[in-house]
Each structure stands twice: as structure tokens, then as C-alpha cells.
């Protein structure tokens, strides 16, 4: 026999990740205790400019809810604000604070898969990276052998570039701005 007078307390213990790009689509996972699947489950993203409710998905194996972040423009417009409050409901009426989520815009300035960089210290890497190759004033005339060698080198470099991302364990060096520390693996594809 079930006692219907017993109140089930829902407690949120974890929200991950707590940030994502402004175009939206970040898959958020909310973990806690007292969770159960229901037809009224939603996550509300709130800013000073408004709110947006997104459907939550029950993950029975993880005993957690997931949802995707909406695009920042839906909630922020052109405002500088980037932090949002997140609330979870299981019945469509009672909302529980789940944490905060922040939009950010990382920029990638440079990226390299130069294998020699792994053997250099940080100072040597930056020096090499920042070196500028002088441009020749006028390209010297090449004989047919040199032209063929140059073309073969271009083909070899192109094949190396196109196959590098497919190699397991290839280390890429990425320089940029507004990166955030995360345990999420970045996968680079063409």
C-alpha cells in the first residue's frame, strides 16, 4: 500500500555544463535526488529581459534531466548580460532553482598541429608561433624540376592537413580569447 501523504523532496545537486556558446544548443544535464519522469517536466531559462521554457528529457539510466540551451538572442537581445537563472519543474507549476548558466563567445585566433611544438616549452612555442615569415618581393623563376618539387610539396602538405584530424592522439594547439576551463573534449572536424 502506498502512502499518498508522503512528500517527495526534489533536490538539485548538479548542473553541467554551466556555460555554452550564444548560438544555443548546449546540452545541459541536471542531476539531483527525488527525480521522477513526468509529463510536465521543463527547464526555464530566465534573464532580466524575459524567460524561455524548454522541454526536459528524462534520462532513466543517469536519473537526470537534460535539455538544450536556447539561442542567447531569444533571452538577451543585444544586452551585455550573459548569465541566466535556470529552474526545473516536474509538474508545470512548482519551480526549483537549478543553477546558473552563462553564454560566452570564444574566439579562435590560431590553430596548429605542428608536431615539433610538443617538444618546445611555452616560451619557445609562442616565439615560433609569432615569427613572421618574410614575403619574397618577387617570386624567383623556377625551372621545371623546382616547379614539380614545389607542387609535390603542396600536395604532400594538403594530404597531411586533411588526414591529421583523423589520427588518434594528434595534439592541436589552439590560441584564442574567452576560453573556459571544462572537462568537455573538443572535437575538431572538417
Instruction: List pLDDT tens digits, range 160-184.
Output: 666 655 555 556 666 677 666 655 5
As a whole number, the mean pLDDT across the chain is 76
| Whole-number pLDDT of residue 143 | 75
Domains of the chain from N-terminus onward = 11-104 (2.60.40.10), 107-177 (no CATH)
Exposure string (b/e) for 14-26, b if CB count within 10 Å is 16 or more? Answer: ebebbbbeeebeb
Q: What's the pLDDT tens digit per position in 43-101?
A: 999 988 889 999 999 999 989 999 999 988 888 766 666 789 999 999 989 999 999 99
Beta strand ranges found along the chain (DSSP E): 11-16, 19-21, 27-33, 42-47, 50-55, 57-59, 64-68, 83-89, 96-104, 107-112, 173-177
The residue ranking higher by pLDDT, 9 or 65, is 65
User: Considering just the CA atoms, what is the radius of gyration of the chain in Å?
Assistant: 25
Closest CA to 66 of 35, 15, 13, 27: 27
Could you tell me the pTM of the whole model? 0.57
Amino acid at each position: 500500500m502506498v502512502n499518498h501523504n508522503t512528500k517527495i523532496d526534489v533536490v538539485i545537486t548538479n548542473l553541467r555544463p554551466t556555460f555554452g556558446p550564444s548560438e544555443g544548443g548546449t546540452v545541459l544535464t541536471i542531476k539531483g535526488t527525488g527525480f521522477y519522469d513526468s509529463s510536465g517536466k521543463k527547464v526555464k531559462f530566465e534573464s532580466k529581459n524575459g524567460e524561455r521554457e524548454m522541454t526536459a528529457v528524462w534520462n532513466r539510466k543517469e536519473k537526470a534531466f537534460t535539455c538544450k540551451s536556447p539561442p542567447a538572442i531569444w533571452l538577451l537581445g543585444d544586452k551585455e548580460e550573459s548569465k541566466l537563472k535556470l529552474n526545473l519543474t516536474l509538474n508545470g507549476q512548482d519551480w526549483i532553482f537549478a543553477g546558473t548558466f552563462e553564454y560566452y563567445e570564444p574566439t579562435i585566433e590560431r590553430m596548429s598541429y605542428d608536431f615539433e611544438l610538443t617538444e618546445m616549452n611555452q616560451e619557445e612555442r609562442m616565439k615560433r608561433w609569432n615569427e613572421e615569415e618574410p614575403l619574397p618581393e618577387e617570386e624567383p623563376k623556377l625551372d621545371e624540376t623546382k616547379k614539380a618539387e614545389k607542387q609535390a610539396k603542396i600536395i604532400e602538405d594538403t594530404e597531411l592537413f586533411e588526414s591529421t584530424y583523423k589520427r588518434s592522439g594528434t595534439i592541436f594547439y589552439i590560441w584564442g580569447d574567452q576560453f573556459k576551463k571544462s572537462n568537455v573534449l573538443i572535437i575538431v572536424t572538417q
